[in-house]
Amino acid sequence: MSFSPRPTLISGFLRSLRAHHNRPALELGEALITYEQLWDYAGRIAACLRERLAPSETVVALLANRSVGAYGGVLGILASGRGYVPLNPKFPLERTLLMLNASGCRTLVVAQESAGTLQAMLPELSQPLTIVSPDAEWEVNSTGFDPHTFINAQQMSKVADPCHPVVDGKATAYLLFTSGSTGVPKGVPVSQSNACAYMNYAAEHFRINASDRCSQNFDLTFDLSVHDLFTCWDAGATLCPYSEQTLTPATLIGEKGITVWFSVPSVAMFASKLGLLSQGAFSSLRWSLFCGEALSASLAAAWQEAANNSVLENLYGPTEATIAITSYRWDSRMSAAECEGGLVPIGWPFTGQQVCVVDENLQAINPGDTGELCLAGSQVTAGYLNDREKTAKSFVRLPHTGDEVWYRTGDLVRQDERGCVFYLGRRDFQVKVNGYRVELQEVDLALREASGSELAVAIPWPVSNGSATGLVGVLSASDPAGDEGVLAACASRLPRYMVPQRIFHFEEMPLNVNGKIDRAKIAKMIAQQQ
Amino acid sequence: MALEQVENSVEQMKQMMSYISHKVITRKDVKIDEDTPLVSSGLIDSFALVEIFVELQAISRRKIPASKVQTKDMDTVRLMFVTAERFGKPVQ
């Protein structure tokens, strides 16, 4: 079996549409949606956008969640030759508006399940938008919102031809926002060529086929969802999103006969807590893939026992390097001995991608020494949206590697003589909370503004197996009576996973040798209070 | 239901409310009772719900198959114990 390179992210889906039009592309609860049916939905969006949008509109926002509208929306926008900007209807309105404004989108595709969020958004929109609502059973209440243009399902009867969109490799395939240390989410445009570089590697490496049934655990706002959707549809396989009514996604493995699993390790940890990781419990799996946060050796071993027929890989990659860029394959006989600090290595770069470990002066360091991981290659994006300063700081040239642009990850690693990379921690204040990337400074800022205190910090807590499951806020010598207001103010602007669960008060904030607040010491003080 | 069972059930619900108030929500401004919506109101998220489910098994002394339970079955403390009764098997 050979895999031909794809010109755009949607090319694999369009190929599968021709080859497997009657096979299920999507299994939503009990409902099976074939490739043809999904295209009927997506093709109407594509036709509408192709007809109505100016060529200068290169990205289109999508407000939808785990529905035909969400998946068809992604496909429709891509098929129109534009990039998609996923917005989460569950995020605070303030954040969603920030993302929408920053993206520059003038068109928003909305699915029915996001009706409430849209109605709340409409009065707050500062620019006129074209709002496309493709769901036939629903019409947006547009009364009083004259500056905007509304296009409903009745005006979208034409289905586009499923032809490959003509787009430049540098065009944006999707635009995602990550937590930003200044309080404003950072936009990361991922180009068609970045996305296709990943997809070409994934097709060769994972060899997913039309009989596979692939998990879909990640929100569309999380770039790992791009792997879920497009490695599956590239192969003509069936995507099985978990319902948010499910207690934990891992229960779907047995129920739906999932063969390809991809999640953050936290989801595996919850499966372990629920007693689901018994020997052979997940025997249907061919692939067990983890990414998004550190994977502990004990969890990998327990999952491998449950998923005894699967190949388990620990993937690593920031959004800026497109989904994942290194991997380590777990070997039950040897891997436990190779782990460092109880964590599974992040392994070796994908074919065609490069890693380099550097010191503070960006000089490459010797194997075995600790330094910052830098990444280069066709998956590395061009920089942040409309932010030259941050781009210049993070996308750099290394003194010894010519004109190649390297992305500085901020991750501290060690590389052994074989080239295997071991994750050791961060050089800044970025943390993962249940797999979500969080800049602690963004939460600090929300805490400072809400409390009126300059001495306010967020601390990842509790932490187990190297991963945080929550955050707490710490304020200096303030009145606990104001805590509820502080937390409510944080909740109104931050996504839920970034909102501190509670506030601690300390008379004096411990400082480190540089005179900065010592977060490590505060974490110890919190632990002592428990 | 026998009086003893009712008393047990009330006591178990109190234990669960105390666990949720002190270990999960930990906000002084939030008071919960047996019928306070927890998930649908946004007071707890899916990650916390897993912890609560583990605690529910311990308090109710029942092994509950996670695959049978939906988040709506865990929306209030009262519903949690109905779910435990419905799907759980007593642990000796």
Which is more confidently placed, A460 or A146?
A: A460
pLDDT of residue A5: 65
User: How many percent of chain A have pLDDT more than 70?
Assistant: 97
> What amino acid occupies position A155?
Q
Q: Which residues contact A155 (CB under 8 A, 6 or more apart)?
A: A48
pLDDT of residue A506: 87
Q: How many CB atoms lie within 10 A of CB A310?
A: 21
Q: How far apart are CA A284 and CA A231, in angstroms?
A: 18
Q: Which CATH superfamily is domain A430-529 in?
A: ANL, C-terminal domain (3.30.300.30)
Of the candidates A421, A417, A393, which has an alpha carbon nearest to the alpha carbon of residue A407? A393
CA–CA distance from A371 to each of A339, A363, A419 (Å)?
18, 10, 14
Which is more confidently placed, A209 or A273?
A: A209
pLDDT of residue B6: 67
**Omega of the bond leading into A462 within 30 degrees of 0 (cis):** yes
* Pairwise CB contact (< 8 Å): B66 & A434: no
Q: Which residue of B has its CA nearest to A487?
A: B27
Domain segments of chain A as ranges: 23-190, 246-426, 430-529
- The DSSP line for B29-84 is T----TT--STTTTSS-HHHHHHHHHHHHHHHTEE--GGG-BGGGGSSHHHHHHHH
CA–CA distance from A103 to each of A83, A168, A319 (Å)?
11, 19, 16
- Chain A hits for B64, CB-CB cut-off 8 Å, are none
The answer to whether the beta carbons of residues A237 and A211 sit under 8 Å apart is yes
Ordered by where they begin, the domains of chain B are 3-90 (1.10.1200.10)
What is the band of B42 on the pLDDT scale with cuts at 50, 70, 90? confident
Q: Which residue of A has its CA nearest to B75?
A: A245
A132 pLDDT above the threshold of 80: yes
The answer to whether the beta carbons of residues A67 and A29 sit under 8 Å apart is no
Q: Which residue of B has its CA nearest to A469?
A: B47
- Chain A hits for B51, CB-CB cut-off 8 Å, are 273
Q: How far apart are CA A98 and CA A91, in angstroms?
A: 11
Q: How far apart are CA A425 and CA A416, in angstroms?
A: 16
Q: How confident is the prediction for chain A on average, in pLDDT?
A: 93
Q: Would you give the distance in Å from CA B51 to the centre of its chain?
A: 10
Q: How far apart are CA A176 and CA A169, in angstroms?
A: 18
- Chain A hits for B47, CB-CB cut-off 8 Å, are 266, 270, 434, 469
Q: Chains A and B: how many Cβ contacts under 8 Å?
A: 53
ipTM over 0.85: no
- Chain B hits for A246, CB-CB cut-off 8 Å, are 70-71
Q: Which helix (H) or strand (E) holds A240?
A: strand A238-241
A397 pLDDT above the threshold of 80: yes
Tens-place pLDDT, residues A456-487? 899 998 887 667 889 999 998 666 778 888 99
pLDDT of residue A141: 86
CA distance A25 to chain B (A): 24
pLDDT of residue A454: 79
Q: How far apart are CA A128 and CA A108, in angstroms?
A: 11
Q: How far apart are CA B70 and CA B73, in angstroms?
A: 5
* Pairwise CB contact (< 8 Å): B53 & A247: yes
pLDDT of residue A430: 87
Which option is the CATH number for A23-190: 3.40.50.12780, 3.40.50.20, 3.90.950.20, 3.40.50.300?
3.40.50.12780
Q: Which residue of A has its CA nearest to B26?
A: A502
Which is more confidently placed, A7 or A371?
A: A371
Q: Which of B30, B38, B46, B63 to mutate to test the interface with A (most CBs of A within 10 A)?
A: B46
Name the pTM for this structure. 0.90
Task: Locate all alpha helices (DSSP H) within A296-387, ordered by sequence.
Answer: 297-306, 335-338
- Residue A31 phi/psi, 5-degree rounding, is -85, 130
CA distance B66 to chain A (A): 7
CATH of domain A246-426: 3.40.50.12780
CA distance B61 to chain A (A): 14
Residue A433's beta-bridge partner residues?
A436, A468
- Chain A hits for B28, CB-CB cut-off 8 Å, are 480, 483-484
CA distance B2 to chain A (A): 31
The answer to whether the beta carbons of residues A185 and A99 sit under 8 Å apart is yes
Task: Locate all alpha helices (DSSP H) within A245-358, ordered by sequence.
Answer: 251-256, 265-273, 297-306, 335-338
A252 pLDDT above the threshold of 90: yes
* Pairwise CB contact (< 8 Å): A273 & B67: no
pLDDT of residue B2: 63
Q: How far apart are CA A238 and CA A212, in angstroms?
A: 6
Q: Which of A244, A247, A484 sits opposite B29 (nearest CB)?
A: A484
* Pairwise CB contact (< 8 Å): B45 & A496: yes
Q: How far apart are CA A20 and CA A13, in angstroms?
A: 10
- Chain B hits for A254, CB-CB cut-off 8 Å, are 67
Tens-place pLDDT, residues A35-47? 999 999 999 999 9
Domain A246-426 matches domain A430-529 at the CATH topology level: no
Q: Which of A66, A91, A247, A274 to mutate to test the interface with B (most CBs of B within 10 A)?
A: A247
